[in-house]
Amino acid sequence: MKLIILERSKIIKFICWILLVVLSAGVAGQWSRSKRKWFGVRERVTLEGRSMARLLPEEVRKVVTEMAKLFTIEPQNAGYFLETGEVIPEKHGRGVDIETTIATVLKAAPGENLNLITYAIPATVGKDYFSPVFQGPTGKREVSLTINVAWGEEELPAMLAILKRHGVKATFFFDGEWVKKFPEFVKQIETEGHEIANHGLYHGHPVTMSKEELKRLIVDNAKLLKEVTGKEPAKLFAPPYGEFNDQIVAVAGNLGYRTIMWTIDTIDWQRPAPEVIIRRVVDKIKPGAIILMHPTVPTVKALERIVNTLRNRGYALVTVSELLKKEDP
């Protein structure tokens, strides 16, 4: 009799366990349906034709992330082929704003047909990289001071003091051999917020160089400047002696550099009177001008008057990168 009672007890416990499992499953299923109703995407919402109805936020994220991989298009840089003289134009890419797309899906009204939120990814190198730059855009009253440095360290402190006093940021193009001798000046100039750019590893004649030597002239100097400052220099190349041809511009462009020339040459390396330097600048100034200078005694004496005159005429003095900056496509 006792054995029968024990067996009956086991059966009752087993039945209760089964009922509990069934009840739990029903509750879980009901909670899952309720959660999707309360927190999931609304009915009949689609994304790029794909149903998103009742998906929970974590499921939406997974779907959008996977779709983004299919819709993303990498940009293609422009290229120049010396053999044919052909410039292959750049192609902008396309990215997907995953977070904004997810938010849009989750707040969509029933029946909405949505598309991924995308943005353009500009190419790093455009076809304009294969033409030398003599001036920037003329739509704004902005100009740039460029200072080529291969000598003249004695005058740099005074020049920097004037620029700092007036809050002017210039673009300094450094010769690599000079950088090796005076790294502390380069560090100071970078620390004071000026733009650091490339004047070649040494002051040779680019028009006599092979493509391989031109590449070394630019790349090795960029590495040197990064070692000294701890930062990548601007992708700007001012060729020594102002020499350029198709090969020089093509090599620089294919490396992602723009070849920077000038609008106004102060010819201060001849050390004329400060008044001559001032007149050369203020008489020819125009929007987008790139003004070439060197660290000389008369340049230092002329610099403050040049800055004041340009500002009085409504010009902002910006770095070359800022001058050439374009709006994103």
Given the structure tokens 């209760």, which residue do they identify? 16
Encode pLDDT of 61-77 as tens digits: 999 999 999 999 999 99
| Lookup: tokens for 232 | 């990548």
pTM greater than 0.85: no
Lowest mean pLDDT among 27-31, 201-205, 237-241, 253-257: 27-31
Per-residue pLDDT for 302 more than 50?
yes
For residues 108 and 41, the answer to whether their CB atoms sit within 8 Å is yes
pLDDT of residue 28: 44
Bridge partners (DSSP) of residue 49 are none
Q: Which domains does the chain have, with CATH numbers?
A: 46-127 (no CATH), 131-324 (3.20.20.370)
Which whole-number Å values give the CA distances from 169 to 122, 133, 148, 232, 321, in the listed order? 26, 19, 14, 17, 11
pLDDT of residue 81: 81
pLDDT of residue 225: 98
pLDDT of residue 82: 77
Which pLDDT band, with edges at 50, 70 and 90, does 4 fall under?
low
Which pLDDT band, with edges at 50, 70 and 90, does 273 fall under?
very high
Which whole-number Å values give the CA distances from 38 to 32, 103, 108, 286, in the listed order? 10, 16, 14, 63
Which pLDDT band, with edges at 50, 70 and 90, does 206 fall under?
very high
Arithmetic mean of pLDDT, 95-117: 96
Encode pLDDT of 6-58 as tens digits: 465 656 555 555 544 444 444 444 555 677 878 899 999 999 999 999 999 99
E strand intervals along 17-77:
46-47, 50-51
Arithmetic mean of pLDDT, 277-286: 98
For residues 312 and 170, the answer to whether their CB atoms sit within 8 Å is no
Arithmetic mean of pLDDT, 249-270: 97
Element at 163 (helix H, strand E): helix 156-166
pLDDT of residue 32: 59
Q: With helix as H, strand as E and coil as C, how does 179-211 read?
A: HHHCHHHHHHHHHCCCEEEECCCCCCCHHHCCH
Which whole-number Å values give the CA distances from 20 to 23, 28, 221, 284, in the listed order? 5, 12, 76, 91
pLDDT of residue 19: 47
pLDDT, greater one: 31 or 281: 281
Lowest mean pLDDT among 77-91, 216-230, 272-286: 77-91
Tell me the average pLDDT of the chain. Answer: 91
